[in-house]
Every structure is written in structure tokens, then in C-alpha cells.
Amino acid sequence: MFDTEASPTQVVVIGAGPIGMTAALELARHGIRTVVFDEDDKFADGSRAIAMHGSILDVFERSGALTAIMEKAVVWTIRRTYHRDRELVVQHLPAPDDGRLPTYINLQQNYTEQYLYQRIADQPLIDLRWKHRVVGLAQDDEGVILTVDTPEGQTEQRAEYVVACDGARSLTRKLLGLEFPGHSHADAFLIVDIRADLPFERQPCFFFDHSTNPGSTILIHPQPDGVWRIDWQVGANFDLESELAPNRMDARIRSFIGDVPYEIVWLSSYRFHQRLLERFQHGRVFFTGDAAHLVAPFGARGMNSGVLDVENLAWKLALVLGGSASPALLESYDAERWPAQKENQVVTDRTMKFMVPPNGWHRLRRKAVFTLCQVWKGASRWVDSGKMAHPFVYTKSPLTIANQGGRRKWPGVPRLGEKVPDAACACWKAGDWQPIRFRHIVGAGFLGLYFAPANGLLTTSLPQGIGEGRTAYQLAVVQAEGGAPSPGQPEDVIYLGSAGELAQAFGAQPGDFFLIRPDGHLTGRLRPASEEGVAEMFERLIEQYHLRV
């Protein structure tokens, strides 16, 4: 946690959905006091955003919400894609064993919000105020002044910064007069959550041209509590009101699940929107999640990318508010997260063109792919039912410190700007080597990971802190297990054993040094580490991260 002195209101978060509550929890984890305003007073209904990637489960774990989430969630490791009754693609994901987080889980959004709220209720640095609608916003050199409608009348709230997490219809965006450029897809989609004992495997399945929805698509997802989510592509001229007639809805559901008792839990329809703010930072106001970008939900790129927005922003705000970095660091939020969201737009637009061909050429191409799949298994690579989301790699980030030796020198090693891998390892605690997961020592501040050679350690020349404690920095040294760490080494170093997966996960060689950011992205690496190389790396860290030392 960064060393900060909390002012009465350092940050106002607008919106208490999963993105807003995660933003508040991440800021609190770094010692930042927040006030959260939400114009409503209840959680979301229905499944909504259900598929969660392991990268945001890591964020939820640090906030303390993961245990409740995992106790309720459905973990899946297989995703199937069909054309009619022919299986085209089977995607296998690693099993979450040995303490590894699953790659994907399914959980209804209302549960996610409840579990995040439970953590907020126990967090003294977060003041969540329901039925508070922000209706005015002004900025000056010292902060932001918000006009807020409350149940007791209108009031003003001052904050140093504002994080807008108020969704697709963001009032914050409108108050600043911002355009939300992009486009909307014409085809509508119908979603129904049903509770039923279905004879299906508990894994997502995607169907092109299913016999019960010819020429269109169906997606089914398993959820907790015996609930299944079914998405039908229903075309541009879909009439939801007539479709809701009991006999028509029943016929649609039974045509897919058969003669099985069921209960409708939630029903909705929607169109996909692809929209992206031109900038995510406007003075002291930062936009995240659906307030900043809307993306078709193929591949679970909505809530997952929104959580990674606030993870990226929170530690930067903490450094600035704590006096450890200048406000120039905050400019990197837009520089990193805008390209990440642009990639989501590109990927999902490509998927939509395959799912709903916009012209004759795309229809011909899709038909050719399905025909080819009947005679050549390799053609399945061109079937696009949604490329699943993964954390963005900040290859062009202004914060990335150039690596020593170029890309060819680092085969099998995480790329600069990439989220570092988790792995099983051992940690020297209480006079013995104890098993841990590497992710559990990532996220408090900057972390240096040094794979010590057998002939000695470099810890005496590696810096133990930056800026006399104002910026959190921790050193982890990986050495051979078998005995205690070498005598005379600093006590505040984390000692990790080389046995297990860690060296393999990093593709590490003896003498390698990796510098990891507070959000788990790799920002620098040396092979082999030297006193001069380490000194230069930290000089560049201070310069590029605008640190005050």
C-alpha cells in the first residue's frame, strides 16, 4: 500500500455498479479516501455481465471479494462453437488447480455487486451514498466541485479528482458536453435467464444457424442456482412486446430446451453499440467502463475491460495524491487504456461481421468457411464466435522502460507491458520455506524480481526503496531452496525458492531482473542484472513515472 495522507474527500466515484465499487475498493487498498455517489439504491437485475476473466478475479481477490464470488460462481474450462448440429471449435482452458485462478467463471452481475458491496461496507475509507445524483460539475486548479441532488436536497461536494463509472448513459459525460462517437448494430438480441434442470454440460455453447433460429445465432451460458442464460439473435425488426406473449416466449424456449420444466428469471433485449470517447481524461475527471467505451459483449470485453480501467488508474491516483508522483503520471491512463479499448472495438467489429454479415461479400465468406469446415478441420480457425478477452499488453506505453538487449534476447519471457504470470513458488517465512502463489506478492507497489545466480546475490546493490519511503518498492529474490537465505542480506527482502513454476513461467535465467508495476504489468527487465544496469533502470523509472524523490 502506498503511504498517503487522506484528505476529507480525495476522490469522488460516480456510479456504484461493479466498475464503480471496484474503483473505490482499489483506491481504498492504496489508502485513498473516496465518496461514491449513485442515483439508484439497488443492485442490477438479471445476469447482464456474467463472464469474468482471471485477471479481474485477481483484482477482486486483493479487495477481499473473491472468496464469496468463487463460492457462488460456475467455473468453466471448455467453450464450444457449432454450425447447425456440427461442432466446429472446442476451446480448452487451463484447469484452476494448485491455487491457480480460473481463466473464466460465470456469475450473474447482481451477485458480483452484492459481494463488492459487502467489502465496501467494511471499508472505512469508502463512503457510499445511494440516491445521490450528480447534476453539476465544475473544475478549478484545486479540484472538482460537484452539485448533487440528494434525498435531503441539493448539496455541493469538492474532490481532488473524479472517476466517472456511471455507465452507458453517463450523465458525467453529458455534463462535460462530450460526444460519444461510434455506431450501433441494427440486429437485436433477446436474452432470457431460465431456471431449469437441463441435460447440457455446464459450459458455454455458441450455435450458428441453429435449427430453432435459422440464419441467426444462439448462445447458452450456465450460471449458479440452476440458471441458464440463452441469447438469441433476433434481427433488426424484432418486436419485443409481441414476443413477450406467454405462448410465443414458451414456444421459443421449448424449441431449444425441449419438454423440460423451467422458470423465467429475467428477460431483456438489446442492441450492440460500439462507442469510444476520444479521450478518457478530461482535466481532473477520468472516465472508465461503459462511461468511456461501449463494446459488443462477444468475448466478455465489457466488465472485464472496465475493471482493468480502474486497476490501471487507482495506483496512479494514489501516487499523485500521496505526493510521490506529479500529476503528469495521470496522463498515462489515457495513453494506455484508450488503445486497449480501441483493440476491443476492432476485435468485436470483426466478430459482428462474421455473426451478422453486413453485405454479400461477408455472407459469401462466412458460407465458404462453414462449407470448408466440413472437409478440413483447419478451417475452424476462421470461425469467429467471439475471441475471449485477455489483459491488454501496453507495448507502446510511455511508462515502459526499454529492455536490455532487444526482443530476441528474451525468448519465452513475458513481453514488456504484459501482465506477469502467476505461478506456484515457495517463500522463506518463520524460518522455513512455505508454499505461496506469486500473485499474492504483486500489487502493493513496484516489485523487483531478481533470479539470483548460484555464485552470489546482487541485493546489496539493488535499491530497497525510492524517495525515502514515499513510493512503495519491494524486492523479491529467487534463490535455490534447501537452506536459509544467505546471512547478511537485508531483512525486508522477500526470498522466494526457485523450485516450482516461477522460473519457468518467466522464462528466467540466473541473473535476470524484472521490474513489475503495481497493476502487475512488466515495465522493465535486465539480462543479466548489473549495478550499472539497475541504477539506470531506476533513473528511467523515476523519470518516466514522474516520481518525486
Q: For the residues of 268-288, what is the DSSP string, one character each?
A: EEEEEEEEE-S-SEETTEEE-
**Residue among 521, 533, 547, 453 nearest 58 (CA):** 521
Backbone angles phi, psi at 265, to 5 degrees: -95, -35
Measured distance CA(420)–CA(49) in Å, rounded = 26
Q: What letter does residue 521 receive in the DSSP assignment?
A: B
Measured distance CA(129)–CA(514) in Å, rounded = 42
**Residue among 469, 453, 471, 316 nearest 394 (CA):** 316
Give the contacts of 121 (CB within 8 A, at least 6 positions apart).
none
Amino acid identity of residue 497, one-letter, is G
**Strand-pair category, 144-150 with 153-159:** antiparallel
Q: For helices 303-321 and 54-63, what crossing angle results, to 10°?
A: 50
- Output the nine-digit C-alpha cell for 398: 510511455
Domain boundaries, the chain: 407-544
**Strand-pair category, 217-223 with 74-75:** unpaired
**Residue among 514, 516, 536 nearest 526 (CA):** 514
Place of cell 500473485: 439
Place of cell 534476447: 409
Measured distance CA(125)–CA(32) in Å, rounded = 7
Q: For the residues of 449-492, what is the DSSP string, one character each?
A: EEE--TT---GGGS-S-BTTTTB-EEEEEEE-SSSPPPTTS-TT
Measured distance CA(200)–CA(232) in Å, rounded = 17
Q: What letter does residue 508 receive in the DSSP assignment?
A: -
Q: For the residues of 102-125, what is the DSSP string, one character each?
A: PSEEE--HHHHHHHHHHHHHT-TT
Measured distance CA(398)–CA(418) in Å, rounded = 14
**Domain at 407-544: CATH code:** 3.40.30.10
pLDDT attached to residue 101: 97
Measured distance CA(292)–CA(283) in Å, rounded = 15
pLDDT in tens, the chain (549 residues): 444 443 458 999 999 999 999 999 999 999 999 999 999 999 999 899 999 999 999 999 999 999 999 999 999 999 999 999 999 999 999 989 889 999 999 999 999 999 999 999 999 999 999 999 999 999 998 899 999 999 999 999 999 999 999 999 999 999 999 999 999 888 888 999 999 999 999 999 999 999 999 989 999 999 999 999 999 998 778 887 787 788 889 999 999 999 999 999 999 888 889 999 999 999 999 999 999 999 988 889 999 999 999 999 999 999 999 999 999 999 999 999 999 999 999 999 999 999 889 899 999 999 999 999 999 999 999 999 999 999 999 999 999 987 776 677 888 999 999 999 999 999 988 888 899 999 999 998 999 999 988 765 554 455 544 444 446 788 888 886 666 776 666 667 888 986 668 999 999 998 899 999 999 999 999 988 888 888 888 889 999 999 987
Give the contacts of 415 (CB within 8 A, at least 6 positions apart).
393, 395, 522
Kindly report the number of other CB atoms within 10 A of residue 89's CB atom.
17
User: For residue 305, how far is the Cα from the chain centroid?
Assistant: 4
In the chain, DSSP finds a helix count (H) and a strand count (E) of 12, 27
Backbone angles phi, psi at 410, to 5 degrees: -125, 55
- Output the nine-digit C-alpha cell for 176: 462535460
Measured distance CA(383)–CA(401) in Å, rounded = 38
Q: What b/e sequence results for 61-81 when a residue is b if at least 16 CB atoms lie within 10 Å of its CB, and e otherwise?
A: bbbbbbebbbebbbbbeebbb
Measured distance CA(171)–CA(157) in Å, rounded = 16
Three-state secondary structure of 342-362: HHHHHHHHHHHHHHCCCCHHH
Measured distance CA(91)–CA(80) in Å, rounded = 6
Amino acid identity of residue 265, one-letter, is V
Q: Check: pTM over 0.85? Answer yes or no.
A: yes
Is 409 exposed, middle or buried (CB count within 10 Å of its CB: 0-12, 13-18, 19+)?
Answer: exposed
Q: CB–CB of 166/288 below 8 Å? A: no
- Output the nine-digit C-alpha cell for 230: 440463452
- Output the nine-digit C-alpha cell for 142: 484545486
Q: CB–CB of 389/305 below 8 Å? A: yes
**Residue among 79, 1, 15, 120 nearest 389 (CA):** 79
**Residue among 70, 77, 74 nearest 94 (CA):** 77
Partners of 369 in the β-ladder: none
pLDDT attached to residue 7: 47
pLDDT attached to residue 185: 85
